[in-house]
Structures are given as C-alpha cells and as structure tokens.
Structure 1
Amino acid sequence: MVRAQVQPRDDSEDGMSLVELIISMAILVLLLGVTLTAVAGMSKSTVRSQAVADASDQLRTTYQRLDKEVRYASSVNQPGVVGNSIYFEYLIDSNIATGTPECVQWRDVADKGELQRRTWPNGTTKASAWQTMITRLRNDLSQVEQQPFRVQRAGNNNGKVTSKQQLDIFLDTGLGADADPRGGQLDVTFVAQNSSTNSPYTVCLIGGMNRP
C-alpha cells in the first residue's frame, strides 16, 4: 500500500492577503499623489518665472525703442481713446534709415492686454502691420494714475516751465489673470528734444492713418 506524503507548508510561498493588497495600493496612490503635486508645483513655478522674464524683456525692448525715437520727435500727440484702445503718435522729422519724416503710432488694446506699434511715412496711408511689443498688460484703465500714456505740453504747466514736450509712460505687465503680483513696470518720462512750444498736437493724423 502506497502512502501519500504531505509536504509541510512553506510560508515563503504564501500570497498576499486582501488587506495587504489594499494597503499596498493605498501607499502607491499616496506616493503618486505626492509626486504629481510636486511636479505640478515645479511646472507652475517654471511657467511663472518664464512669464516674469518675458515681461522684463518686453519692457526693456519697449523702453529702448521709445528712448531711441522720442528724443528725435518734433511733436507728440495727445493720447486719444477709440473703442477699447488708447492711442498716441509722434513725428520723427527724418528717419535715420530712409531720411524721410516718419509717423509712429502706439496703442494699448485693453481687452487683449497688449501694447502694439506701427509706422508709416508722414502724409501717406500705407502703414506697417501692427507689431505686438508687450503682452499681459494689466494697467487698470479706470484709474487715472494707471493711464499708460500722458503728454505734457511745452510751456508753463502749473508753474513748471518746460521748453520741450514730454511723454510719460506707465506700463504694468506680468501674469495677468494668474493674479501673481510679480512682473514688471515701466514708469518713465521721455523728452522730445526736437519739439518746442510751437509743436502741434495733430501731427500724422491729418492726411495720414488716423486712429482706426
């Protein structure tokens, strides 16, 4: 008669119980959650840092452009509002590249939060395409002190006598809807060295492109 031999149970071959499986899955989910949160935080921080860097670069480029052009302007127009945009223009009597008078027009497009620029030869109606200089503008246009453009007349202004027109620029840019206070600001006054008390405030708008 053959007797069956029963081998003793080897505990090392035991499987996982349901409770152990649930605990393992919970730990895995927790680790994944922590990892994804960290990655998302790093990504958001990177995006914000890049936005701040972009804002600074755009402001620097805008400043350099205005500083180069306004000093040679013979007249700067008073800003005006058309629709959702605020405009101003200035006349450069002799463009360095072409030798002909050139009109330069800037506008703050409020609903887009953009600062745009275009040019045309004085007296013509053939303008360049709008070039976006700054994005994510966040000037609060309902506040007087946050208006982006202001022109000071040459002459006596409340006891302050100036011989040249001056252009005040205030631009606040950054992360906009992200509600992050970081970003950049440009708050500067440019002097139109070729202007005088006789400089008009209607250059480039008569026989030119006007304000669309």
Structure 2
Amino acid sequence: MSLAERFRDATRRGDDRGVTLAELAVTTGIMSVVMAIFTTGLVQLFKAGNANEMVALTQAQLNTAFLRLDRELRYSAGFGPLRTDASGNTFVEYLNPGTAGGTPACVQLELYKDGKTLRRQAWPSQGSKPTGRWSVLASQVNVPKSSMSFPASDNTTYQRLRIQLYVASNPGSGQTEAFTDLTFTALNSRPDTAPSSICPEART
C-alpha cells in the first residue's frame, strides 16, 4: 500500500493519535533547559562585550591625556625628585621651558589617593609656591597600584619619567581596569641635572 493510500485510510478511520501529556511535559522541560543555557550564554556574551568596550573607551581617554602630557614632558628641562607623602600621594615636578608665553613654567604631577586621580598644576618658574589650581588628567585611578618612577638610563643622555596607571573602566560588581605604561623622555634635560634644582619652591 502506498503512502497516499495509507494516509487516506487513516483519514477515513478518523485516526486521532497524538502526544501524551507526559511527552509534552518532557519536551517542555528539555526546551526550558536549552533556553536557559542559551540565555545565560547570551547574557555573558553581552557582559564581556560591554566590559571590553568600556576598557577600550577608558584606554582612549588615557591616551588623549598622555598625548597632552607628552607635549610638555618631551621638551622639559629636567625632573625634580620623586616623593610620596604620609597620605600615599606621589609627586614629581618638571621644568617646562617651552610655554606659549615664552616664560618657563614649573609643573607638578600628583597621583592623588583620596581623589583617585592623576592631576597637574603649573606656576611660573622661580615664582611663589604652587597655588593648588589642579587640573585632572585621569580619574578613577587605582593609586596604590599605579606608580611614577625614573627608569634606568639605558645609555641615554636624557632624563626619563615612567608612569604606570591602573584606571577603573566601569562601576559596579563587573568593574574592570585599563592599564597604561608609558615612559616620557625630557629632550632638553641633562643626566647631571640635580633634581633638587628643579622647581624647589614646590618642596618648601
């Protein structure tokens, strides 16, 4: 008997066979498990994508800040001593001879623990003490993990400043960090320049 004949025969008999309630319950349970796994994977994928996007955005903002800083540090005449105060804030000064007005300026960088920032302030060279007019270069900085240091000379005739920053890229329990490690070379500096002679008014 052909398939068409069997179909017509079943139709004439009024065959109403189907699935049982137990079979339907099992199928629904399997589908629920599959959908739960699929949904969990999709949520994790979106979370990972958002975290990567936030890290990339934070990294781009850091790069922009460091490009601005590089214009000063590249032509600075030398660095003052690195020091850390009792509150865990790290400071360094440098002399910037190439200002727009032609007057050399002193600049102080600080890893500010309470404010979680890398910030700077500037004042005329050989002038009065800094006035405390800070501008923020990077925020949400993990100051205990971040650092400023003077790397080894590596046969270079210039002074160099290395800045390592860990910056939180997004709030909440899924917080991640962007990391930046850059070394700036002061092209107007000399290796025998005494750090104590650079912007001493900042340390009095």
- Give the TM-score, by structure 1 length: 0.62
Question: Are positions 1:89 and 2:93 aligned together?
Answer: yes
1:174–1:183 Cα contact (<8 Å) kept: yes
Which residue, 88, 98, 106 being the options, matches 2:109? 106
Which residue, 116, 119, 134 being the options, matches 1:129? 134
1:108–1:115 Cα contact (<8 Å) kept: yes
Q: How does 1:1-212 map to 2 (within 5 A)?
A: 11=16, 17=21, 19-20=22-23, 22-82=25-85, 83-96=87-100, 98-109=101-112, 114-122=116-124, 123-124=127-128, 125-133=130-138, 135=140, 137=142, 140=145, 147-150=147-150, 164=158, 166-171=159-164, 173=166, 184-194=179-189, 197-201=192-196, 203-206=198-201, 208=202
What's the CA shift for 1:54? 3.0
Between the aligned partners of 2:92 and 2:198, the Cα distance in structure 1 is: 10
1:55–1:134 Cα contact (<8 Å) kept: no
- The total of aligned residue pairs comes to 185
What's the CA shift for 1:57? 1.8
Render the CA deviation track for 1:69-125: whole Å, top value 9, x for unaligned: 1232223111110212211121213522x443333222234577x551222323354
Between the aligned partners of 1:193 and 1:81, the Cα distance in structure 2 is: 26
What is the Cα-based RMSD across aligned positions, in Å? 4.2
1:169–1:186 Cα contact (<8 Å) kept: yes
Once the two structures are aligned, what percentage of the paired residues are identical?
A: 19
What's the CA shift for 1:190? 0.9
- Structure 1 alignment gaps of length 5 or more: 1-8, 142-146
Between the aligned partners of 1:25 and 1:41, the Cα distance in structure 2 is: 24
User: Whose strand fraction is larger, Structure 1's or Structure 2's?
Assistant: 1
1:75–1:194 Cα contact (<8 Å) kept: yes
Between the aligned partners of 2:39 and 2:98, the Cα distance in structure 1 is: 58
